């Protein structure tokens, strides 16, 4: 009996991954856009490295953390839109008529975006390193970086799934996308928090969990092993993931009512 949920999950995981893989335009955009922005900002904001107190001599190394977050946001969009489409088309109702458990369904839905997010993280790291970005944590830092990236992706994907399950619409998830970007911009994305001139912006960035995600990744790239930054980053990512997964699971219970 316990093998069934695993088997169900496996089927949906496969479907979820195939679904992502069969949208090459979306995949290309998920890689190209963050890398393009990285390249442009590395050239456009390089002058910032001359500021007293700037933590790195290379803006590329500083900014390399951003694509990992953007990758998570695209993963949120992918999982949310896919689930929204399943609800709109009635596919979720079809699944509800099978012995499929809700946990299997959620796991399966998130799997595709997790796969994409993980692959993205590996690619961003490889591209960054090949462009001479620093990686102070060394080889041991790679699995830590990937693990952090996976937790971030899980968190954002589950938020995307939550929105889809609450609204029943893929379009509503798309409409949330700008909001995700607001969180990214109002953080320490472009400047270290202590070099942000305006108090109000610094305050927002301090309360914004995305800042800690960025700073955790950055710590592996720039300073090596910063326990506090890593703890805060993993903590925020895990917090988002727990909230997201719990919310999505509860919403799924409402959405997929069965007697």
Partner 1 sequence: MSARSRSVALAVAWRGVRLTFTTPALILPMLTFPLFFLAAFAGGISGIERAPGFDFASGYTAFVFVFVLLQSAAFGGVFTGFGIARDFESGFARRLMLAAPRRAAILAGYALSGLARAAATMAVATAAALVGGMQVGGGGVDLFGMYALAFLVNVAATLWAAGVAMRLRTLQAGPLMQVPVFLVLLLAPVYVPLDLLAGWVHALAQVNPMTVLLKAGRGLISGAPADVALAFAIAAALIAAFAAWARGGLRSAEASGA
The footprint of partner 1 (CB under 8 A) covers 36-37, 39-40, 42-48, 50-51, 178, 182, 185-186, 189-191, 195-198, 200-201, 205
Q: In the bound complex, what is the minimum distance in angstroms from residue 96's beta carbon to partner 1?
A: 31
Q: In the bound complex, what is the minimum distance in angstroms from residue 246's beta carbon to partner 1?
A: 30
Dmax of the chain from CA atoms? Answer: 65
State which residue, 138 or 181, has the beta carbon closest to partner 1.
181
Q: In the bound complex, what is the minimum distance in angstroms from residue 44's beta carbon to partner 1?
A: 5
Q: Give Cα 14 to chain centroid, integer Å.
A: 20
Other beta carbons within 10 angstroms of residue 56's beta carbon come to 20
Q: In the bound complex, what is the minimum distance in angstroms from residue 89's beta carbon to partner 1?
A: 19
State which residue, 48 or 147, has the beta carbon closest to partner 1.
48
State which residue, 198 or 258, has the beta carbon closest to partner 1.
198
* H helix runs in 1-101, sequence order: 3-21, 24-44, 59-63, 65-89, 91-96
State which residue, 50 or 257, has the beta carbon closest to partner 1.
50
Instruction: List, as own/partner pairs, every contact residues 233-236 make where C-beta atoms lie below 8 angstroms and the sequence separation is at least 24, other chains included.
Output: 233/148, 234/148, 234/151, 236/209, 236/212
CB 61 within 8 A of CB 46: no
Q: In the bound complex, what is the minimum distance in angstroms from residue 66's beta carbon to partner 1?
A: 13
State which residue, 24 or 178, has the beta carbon closest to partner 1.
178
Q: What is the DSSP string of 74-101?
A: HHHHHHHHHHHHHHHHTHHHHHHTSS--
């Amino acid at each position: 009996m316990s093998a069934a949920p695993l088997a169900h999950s496996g089927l949906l995981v496969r479907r979820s991954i195939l679904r992502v893989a069969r949208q090459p335009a979306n995949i290309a955009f998920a890689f190209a856009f963050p890398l393009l922005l990285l390249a442009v900002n590395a050239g456009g904001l390089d002058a910032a490295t001359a500021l007293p107190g700037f933590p790195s001599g290379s803006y590329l190394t500083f900014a390399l953390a951003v694509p990992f977050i953007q990758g998570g946001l695209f993963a949120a969009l992918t999982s949310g839109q896919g689930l929204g489409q399943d609800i709109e088309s009635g596919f979720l109702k079809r699944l509800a008529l099978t012995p499929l458990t809700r946990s299997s369904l959620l796991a399966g839905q998130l799997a595709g975006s997790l796969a994409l997010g993980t692959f993205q993280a590996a690619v961003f790291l490889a591209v960054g390193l090949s462009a001479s970005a620093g990686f102070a944590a060394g080889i041991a830092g790679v699995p830590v970086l990937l693990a952090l990236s996976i937790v971030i992706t899980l968190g954002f994907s589950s938020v995307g799934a939550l929105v889809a399950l609450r609204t029943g619409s893929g379009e509503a998830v798309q409409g949330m996308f700008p909001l995700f970007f607001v969180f990214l911009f109002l953080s320490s994305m472009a400047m270290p928090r202590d070099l942000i001139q305006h108090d109000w912006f610094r305050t927002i960035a301090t309360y914004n969990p995305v800042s800690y995600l960025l700073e955790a990744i950055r710590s592996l790239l720039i300073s090596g092993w910063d326990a506090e930054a890593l703890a805060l980053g993993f903590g925020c990512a895990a917090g988002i993931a727990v909230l997201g997964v719990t919310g999505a699971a509860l919403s799924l219970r409402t959405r997929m009512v069965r007697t």
